[in-house]
């Protein structure tokens, strides 16, 4: 049975760690798992990721940034997510269109209706079955980023206020009571968080 699982949260919330732990757990149970992330999968995705997150020599307009994240997603869905779902895989994706709503809508302050239309259109109708939102105070998440070995990107370097607005955007989304979104307490140890998430697969 194919399933589409996404992970969301502010930078440093521990999503990538949890997405990988779940992928390992489900693979260990014999499930066919395809692990992926946004942005940056596939050849086009890598090129787009590089332009948005790594290049320091151009100042990207927020609307252009929105279009680029959506372009990355449309290609990702068509090229990888959809074929894997059709092939019976459980697809685990580190970030999906909720990130666009929170980062480009609330973070950058672009008209939420426009962001919603573009973000949903870019998913080509492919909706997650379940989304784990890792809930953590912004201060704590940013402290974790300081210690992370991975190189920092342009988004990680945004000020506290930006990450706070992104967090606010996620909270607004959660307040809508969308059934697929499960809020997970993310201040705990990686193992304890993983056990919380596992409960949804027992
Ligand atoms: P994200 O993908 O949300 O940006 P990561 O999974 O990359 O977050 O984690 C960010 C940093 O915090 C990494 O250095 C990681 O090892 C560490 N980390 C992840 N989960 C936890 C946790 N539950 N407690 C403490 N540190 C964590
Ligand atoms: P990444 O290094 O993958 O960070 P993380 O491990 O926290 O996911 O960087 C991706 C960045 O891009 C992250 O700061 C969130 C941002 N982003 C958007 O602004 N809009 C989007 O639609 C997506 C998918 C990501």
Over residues 31-87, the pLDDT tens digits come to: 999 999 999 999 999 999 999 999 989 999 999 999 999 999 999 999 999 999 999
CA–CA gap between residue 13 and residue 9 (Å, rounded): 6
Q: Give the ligand at the shortest distance from the Cα of 72.
A: 2
pLDDT of amino acid 147: 79
Residue 16 belongs to what domain range?
A: 3-201
Give the pair of three-digit tokens for residue 178.
């969308």
Report CA(76)–ligand 1 centroid distance (Å).
Answer: 25
Residue 191, ligand 1, Cβ within 6 A: no
CATH number of the domain to which 86 belongs: 3.40.50.300
Structural domain count of the chain: 1
Query: By C-alpha distance, which of 72, 77, 67 is closest to 50?
Result: 72
Cα dihedral 15/69/37/190 (nearest 10) = -10
pLDDT of amino acid 178: 97
CA–CA gap between residue 27 and residue 10 (Å, rounded): 26
Q: Is the pLDDT of residue 1 over 90?
A: no
SS3 state at 8: strand
pLDDT of amino acid 202: 85
What are the start-end ranges of the H helices in 53-198?
62-76, 82-86, 97-100, 112-122, 138-147, 160-175, 190-198
Pocket test for ligand 2, best of 9, 95, 141 (most atoms within 8 A of CB): 95
Report CA(14)–ligand 1 centroid distance (Å).
Answer: 4
Which residues lie closer than 8 Å to 34 by C-beta, 6 or more apart? Answer: 80, 84, 89, 90, 91, 92
Residue 14, ligand 1, Cβ within 6 A: yes
146 or 7, greater pLDDT: 7
Residue 102, ligand 1, Cβ within 6 A: no
Over residues 143-194, the pLDDT tens digits come to: 998 877 777 889 988 999 999 999 999 999 999 999 999 999 999 999 999 9
pLDDT of amino acid 152: 83
What is residue 152's DSSP assignment? P
Q: Is the pLDDT of residue 135 over 90?
A: yes
User: Which atom of ligand 1 sits closest to the CA of residue 149?
Assistant: 14
Over residues 83-123, the pLDDT tens digits come to: 999 999 999 999 999 999 999 999 999 999 999 999 999 99
């Amino acid at each position: 049975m194919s399933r589409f699982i996404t992970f969301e949260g502010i930078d440093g919330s521990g999503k990538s760690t949890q997405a990988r732990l779940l992928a390992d757990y489900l693979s260990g149970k014999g499930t066919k798992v395809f692990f992926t992330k946004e942005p940056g999968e596939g050849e086009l995705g890598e090129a787009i990721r590089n332009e948005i997150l790594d290049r320091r020599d151009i100042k990207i307009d927020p609307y252009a940034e929105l279009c680029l994240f959506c372009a990355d997603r449309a290609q990702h869905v068509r090229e990888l997510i959809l074929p894997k779902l059709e092939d019976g895989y459980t697809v685990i994706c580190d970030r999906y269109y909720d990130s666009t709503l929170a980062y480009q809508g609330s973070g950058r302050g672009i008209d939420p209706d426009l962001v919603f239309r573009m973000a949903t259109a870019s998913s080509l109708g492919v909706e997650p079955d379940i989304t784990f939102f890792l809930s953590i105070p912004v201060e704590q998440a940013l402290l974790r980023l300081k210690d992370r070995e991975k190189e920092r990107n342009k988004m990680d370097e945004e000020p506290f206020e930006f990450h706070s607005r992104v967090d606010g955007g996620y909270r607004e989304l959660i307040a809508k009571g969308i059934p697929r979104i499960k809020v997970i307490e993310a201040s705990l140890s990686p193992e304890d968080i993983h056990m919380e998430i596992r409960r949804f697969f027992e």
